[in-house]
Amino acid sequence: DIVMTQSPDSLAVSLGERATINCKSSQSVLYSSNNKNSLAWYQQKPGQPPKVLIYWASTRESGVPDRFSGSGSGTDFTLTISSLQAEDVAVYYCQQYYSSPLTFGQGTRLEIK
Amino acid sequence: QLQLQESGPGLVKPSETLSLTCTVSGGSISSSDSYWGWIRQPPGKGLEWIGTMFYSGSTYYNPSLKSRVTMSVDTSKNQFSLKLTSVTAADTAVYYCARVPLYSGSFGKSWFGPWGQGTLVTVSS
Protein backbone atom coordinates (compact mmCIF):
# COMPACT_ATOMS: atom_id res chain seq x y z
CA ASP A 1 0.00 0.00 0.00
CA ILE A 2 1.12 3.58 -0.64
CA VAL A 3 1.36 5.43 2.68
CA MET A 4 0.47 9.13 2.58
CA THR A 5 2.03 11.26 5.31
CA GLN A 6 0.94 14.85 5.85
CA SER A 7 2.75 17.58 7.74
CA PRO A 8 2.11 19.30 9.98
CA ASP A 9 -0.74 17.59 11.82
CA SER A 10 -2.12 21.01 12.75
CA LEU A 11 -1.40 24.54 11.66
CA ALA A 12 -2.46 28.01 12.87
CA VAL A 13 -2.15 30.89 10.42
CA SER A 14 -3.23 34.53 10.64
CA LEU A 15 -5.99 35.81 8.39
CA GLY A 16 -4.59 36.99 5.08
CA GLU A 17 -1.37 35.02 5.51
CA ARG A 18 -0.17 32.00 3.50
CA ALA A 19 -0.88 28.47 4.67
CA THR A 20 1.17 25.53 3.41
CA ILE A 21 0.37 21.85 3.93
CA ASN A 22 2.68 19.08 2.82
CA CYS A 23 1.96 15.52 1.71
CA LYS A 24 4.53 12.82 1.08
CA SER A 25 3.82 9.48 -0.58
CA SER A 26 5.83 6.33 0.17
CA GLN A 27 6.37 5.82 -3.56
CA SER A 28 6.00 7.87 -6.70
CA VAL A 29 2.45 8.53 -7.88
CA LEU A 30 3.43 9.78 -11.33
CA TYR A 31 1.03 8.28 -13.90
CA SER A 32 3.15 7.64 -16.97
CA SER A 33 0.23 7.58 -19.41
CA ASN A 34 -0.36 11.33 -19.07
CA ASN A 35 2.75 12.40 -17.11
CA LYS A 36 0.58 13.69 -14.30
CA ASN A 37 0.68 12.94 -10.59
CA SER A 38 -2.26 10.95 -9.20
CA LEU A 39 -2.77 13.14 -6.15
CA ALA A 40 -5.89 14.94 -4.89
CA TRP A 41 -6.54 17.38 -2.06
CA TYR A 42 -9.77 17.67 -0.04
CA GLN A 43 -11.19 20.14 2.44
CA GLN A 44 -13.48 18.89 5.22
CA LYS A 45 -15.31 21.39 7.39
CA PRO A 46 -16.92 20.27 10.67
CA GLY A 47 -20.05 18.19 10.14
CA GLN A 48 -19.61 18.18 6.36
CA PRO A 49 -18.32 15.66 3.82
CA PRO A 50 -14.94 16.21 2.21
CA LYS A 51 -14.89 18.45 -0.86
CA VAL A 52 -12.34 17.98 -3.61
CA LEU A 53 -10.16 21.04 -4.17
CA ILE A 54 -7.35 19.80 -6.42
CA TYR A 55 -6.74 16.71 -8.56
CA TRP A 56 -3.80 15.65 -10.75
CA ALA A 57 -1.78 17.43 -8.05
CA SER A 58 -2.38 20.91 -9.47
CA THR A 59 -5.72 21.04 -11.33
CA ARG A 60 -8.23 23.13 -9.41
CA GLU A 61 -11.77 21.75 -9.26
CA SER A 62 -14.40 23.99 -10.84
CA GLY A 63 -15.65 26.61 -8.40
CA VAL A 64 -12.68 26.38 -6.02
CA PRO A 65 -11.22 29.83 -5.25
CA ASP A 66 -7.90 30.55 -6.91
CA ARG A 67 -6.23 31.18 -3.54
CA PHE A 68 -6.00 27.35 -3.36
CA SER A 69 -3.16 25.83 -5.37
CA GLY A 70 -1.42 22.48 -5.54
CA SER A 71 2.14 21.69 -6.53
CA GLY A 72 4.75 18.97 -6.40
CA SER A 73 5.71 15.83 -8.25
CA GLY A 74 6.80 12.27 -7.63
CA THR A 75 6.51 11.80 -3.88
CA ASP A 76 6.32 15.33 -2.46
CA PHE A 77 3.30 17.59 -2.76
CA THR A 78 2.06 20.87 -1.32
CA LEU A 79 -1.32 22.55 -0.90
CA THR A 80 -1.02 26.31 -0.57
CA ILE A 81 -3.68 28.78 0.49
CA SER A 82 -2.28 32.12 -0.61
CA SER A 83 -4.33 34.37 1.69
CA LEU A 84 -6.17 32.60 4.48
CA GLN A 85 -9.84 33.40 4.89
CA ALA A 86 -11.99 32.58 7.93
CA GLU A 87 -14.01 30.08 5.89
CA ASP A 88 -10.86 28.05 5.17
CA VAL A 89 -10.80 26.63 8.71
CA ALA A 90 -11.04 22.88 8.09
CA VAL A 91 -9.18 19.61 7.99
CA TYR A 92 -7.31 19.02 4.75
CA TYR A 93 -6.53 15.56 3.32
CA CYS A 94 -4.39 14.38 0.45
CA GLN A 95 -5.22 11.17 -1.44
CA GLN A 96 -3.30 9.08 -3.95
CA TYR A 97 -5.11 7.30 -6.76
CA TYR A 98 -2.03 5.83 -8.47
CA SER A 99 -2.61 2.35 -7.12
CA SER A 100 -5.06 0.26 -5.16
CA PRO A 101 -5.87 0.54 -2.36
CA LEU A 102 -6.60 4.22 -2.72
CA THR A 103 -5.19 5.86 0.39
CA PHE A 104 -5.51 9.16 2.23
CA GLY A 105 -3.18 11.14 4.44
CA GLN A 106 -4.02 11.43 8.12
CA GLY A 107 -5.27 15.01 7.73
CA THR A 108 -4.01 18.47 8.69
CA ARG A 109 -6.15 20.70 10.88
CA LEU A 110 -5.97 24.36 9.84
CA GLU A 111 -6.98 27.04 12.33
CA ILE A 112 -6.84 30.82 12.60
CA LYS A 113 -4.04 32.27 14.72
CA GLN B 1 -25.99 19.55 -10.38
CA LEU B 2 -25.08 16.05 -9.31
CA GLN B 3 -26.15 15.10 -5.80
CA LEU B 4 -25.74 11.88 -3.83
CA GLN B 5 -27.63 10.75 -0.73
CA GLU B 6 -26.88 7.78 1.49
CA SER B 7 -29.63 5.83 3.26
CA GLY B 8 -29.83 2.80 5.51
CA PRO B 9 -29.97 1.66 9.13
CA GLY B 10 -28.02 3.71 11.63
CA LEU B 11 -27.54 0.78 14.01
CA VAL B 12 -26.31 -2.70 13.13
CA LYS B 13 -25.63 -5.56 15.53
CA PRO B 14 -22.21 -7.21 15.68
CA SER B 15 -21.77 -10.13 13.23
CA GLU B 16 -24.66 -8.88 11.09
CA THR B 17 -24.58 -7.23 7.64
CA LEU B 18 -24.43 -3.49 7.08
CA SER B 19 -26.48 -2.43 4.04
CA LEU B 20 -26.47 1.08 2.58
CA THR B 21 -27.88 2.63 -0.57
CA CYS B 22 -26.73 5.74 -2.42
CA THR B 23 -29.27 7.58 -4.57
CA VAL B 24 -27.87 9.71 -7.37
CA SER B 25 -29.81 12.72 -8.62
CA GLY B 26 -29.04 15.36 -11.21
CA GLY B 27 -27.24 12.86 -13.42
CA SER B 28 -27.27 9.27 -14.62
CA ILE B 29 -25.56 6.44 -12.79
CA SER B 30 -25.07 4.91 -16.24
CA SER B 31 -22.78 7.76 -17.29
CA SER B 32 -19.71 6.60 -19.18
CA ASP B 33 -17.50 9.15 -17.42
CA SER B 34 -18.18 8.04 -13.85
CA TYR B 35 -17.49 5.32 -11.38
CA TRP B 36 -19.26 5.30 -8.02
CA GLY B 37 -17.57 4.77 -4.70
CA TRP B 38 -17.88 4.27 -0.96
CA ILE B 39 -15.56 5.78 1.64
CA ARG B 40 -15.86 5.65 5.42
CA GLN B 41 -14.63 7.74 8.33
CA PRO B 42 -14.63 6.45 11.93
CA PRO B 43 -15.67 9.16 14.40
CA GLY B 44 -12.85 11.66 14.84
CA LYS B 45 -10.55 9.77 12.48
CA GLY B 46 -9.38 9.76 8.87
CA LEU B 47 -10.77 8.47 5.59
CA GLU B 48 -10.74 4.88 4.32
CA TRP B 49 -11.63 3.84 0.78
CA ILE B 50 -14.02 0.87 0.69
CA GLY B 51 -14.64 0.28 -3.00
CA THR B 52 -15.53 1.64 -6.42
CA MET B 53 -17.76 0.31 -9.16
CA PHE B 54 -18.88 1.01 -12.73
CA TYR B 55 -22.55 0.84 -13.69
CA SER B 56 -21.84 -2.23 -15.84
CA GLY B 57 -20.89 -4.17 -12.70
CA SER B 58 -17.09 -3.94 -12.63
CA THR B 59 -15.97 -3.60 -9.03
CA TYR B 60 -12.74 -2.63 -7.27
CA TYR B 61 -12.47 -3.25 -3.53
CA ASN B 62 -9.99 -2.34 -0.82
CA PRO B 63 -8.09 -5.61 -0.21
CA SER B 64 -8.41 -5.08 3.55
CA LEU B 65 -12.21 -5.32 3.26
CA LYS B 66 -12.61 -7.35 0.09
CA SER B 67 -13.71 -10.57 1.78
CA ARG B 68 -16.65 -8.77 3.43
CA VAL B 69 -17.71 -6.18 0.81
CA THR B 70 -20.18 -6.37 -2.04
CA MET B 71 -21.19 -3.39 -4.17
CA SER B 72 -24.07 -3.46 -6.63
CA VAL B 73 -26.02 -1.08 -8.86
CA ASP B 74 -29.69 -0.60 -9.76
CA THR B 75 -29.72 1.54 -12.89
CA SER B 76 -33.53 1.66 -12.97
CA LYS B 77 -33.51 3.47 -9.62
CA ASN B 78 -30.25 5.40 -10.23
CA GLN B 79 -28.86 3.83 -7.08
CA PHE B 80 -25.85 1.84 -5.99
CA SER B 81 -25.44 -0.14 -2.81
CA LEU B 82 -22.92 -1.41 -0.28
CA LYS B 83 -23.08 -4.56 1.80
CA LEU B 84 -20.50 -5.24 4.51
CA THR B 85 -20.80 -8.57 6.29
CA SER B 86 -19.74 -9.76 9.74
CA VAL B 87 -19.48 -6.26 11.17
CA THR B 88 -17.73 -5.41 14.42
CA ALA B 89 -17.38 -2.23 16.46
CA ALA B 90 -14.41 -1.34 14.26
CA ASP B 91 -16.85 -0.81 11.38
CA THR B 92 -18.58 2.04 13.23
CA ALA B 93 -18.13 5.06 10.97
CA VAL B 94 -19.73 7.71 8.82
CA TYR B 95 -20.20 6.09 5.42
CA TYR B 96 -20.01 8.34 2.37
CA CYS B 97 -20.88 7.64 -1.24
CA ALA B 98 -19.24 9.66 -3.99
CA ARG B 99 -18.83 10.04 -7.71
CA VAL B 100 -15.45 8.84 -8.97
CA PRO B 101 -14.40 10.45 -12.27
CA LEU B 102 -13.34 7.99 -14.96
CA TYR B 103 -10.30 8.71 -17.14
CA SER B 104 -8.45 6.63 -19.67
CA GLY B 105 -6.79 3.69 -17.96
CA SER B 106 -8.17 4.50 -14.52
CA PHE B 107 -9.70 1.08 -13.71
CA GLY B 108 -11.48 2.44 -10.66
CA LYS B 109 -8.58 4.58 -9.45
CA SER B 110 -9.49 8.25 -9.26
CA TRP B 111 -10.40 11.08 -6.95
CA PHE B 112 -13.83 11.53 -5.34
CA GLY B 113 -16.35 14.29 -5.94
CA PRO B 114 -19.03 15.20 -5.22
CA TRP B 115 -19.73 13.35 -1.98
CA GLY B 116 -22.98 12.58 -0.24
CA GLN B 117 -23.62 14.07 3.19
CA GLY B 118 -22.72 10.77 4.85
CA THR B 119 -24.58 8.49 7.22
CA LEU B 120 -23.38 7.33 10.64
CA VAL B 121 -23.57 3.59 11.15
CA THR B 122 -22.98 2.34 14.67
CA VAL B 123 -22.23 -1.32 15.33
CA SER B 124 -23.54 -2.24 18.75
CA SER B 125 -25.72 -4.81 20.42
Closest A-chain CA to B115? A49
In this predicted structure, what is the pLDDT of residue B16?
98
Interface membership of A62 toward B (CB under 8 Å): no
Mean predicted confidence (pLDDT) in B81-87: 98
In this predicted structure, what is the pLDDT of residue B54?
95
Give yes or no for residue B31 having a pLDDT over 90.
yes
Which residue type sits at B52? T
Which residue type sits at A86? A
Which residue type sits at B23? T
Interface membership of A106 toward B (CB under 8 Å): yes
Give yes or no for residue B105 having a pLDDT over 90.
no
In this predicted structure, what is the pLDDT of residue B104?
85
Q: What is the pLDDT along chain A (113 residues), one digit of tens a residue?
A: 999 999 999 999 999 999 999 999 999 999 999 999 999 999 999 999 999 999 999 999 999 999 999 999 999 999 999 999 999 999 999 999 999 999 999 999 999 99
Q: A106: which chain B residues are within 8 Å (Cβ-Cβ)?
A: 46
**Residue (of B37, B34, B24) closest to B95 by Cα position:** B37
Q: List pLDDT tens digits, range B41-53.
A: 999 999 999 999 9
DSSP assignment string, chain A: ---EEEE-SEEEE-TTS-EEEEEEESS--EETTTTEE-EEEEEE-TTS--EEEEETTTEEPTT--TTEEEEEETTEEEEEESS--GGG-EEEEEEE-SSSSPEE---EEEEE-
Q: What is the DSSP letter of B115?
A: B
CA A66 to chain centroid, in Å, comes to 14
Of A34, A52, A105, which is closest to B111 when you measure between CB atoms? Answer: A52
d(CA B26, CA B1): 5
In this predicted structure, what is the pLDDT of residue A86?
98
Mutate to test the interface with B, among A97, A104, A108 (most CBs of B within 10 A): A97
Give yes or no for residue B34 having a pLDDT over 90.
yes
Closest B-chain CA to A61? B113
CB A78 within 8 A of CB A57: no
- Put simply, the answer to whether B108 touches A107 (Cβ < 8 Å) is no
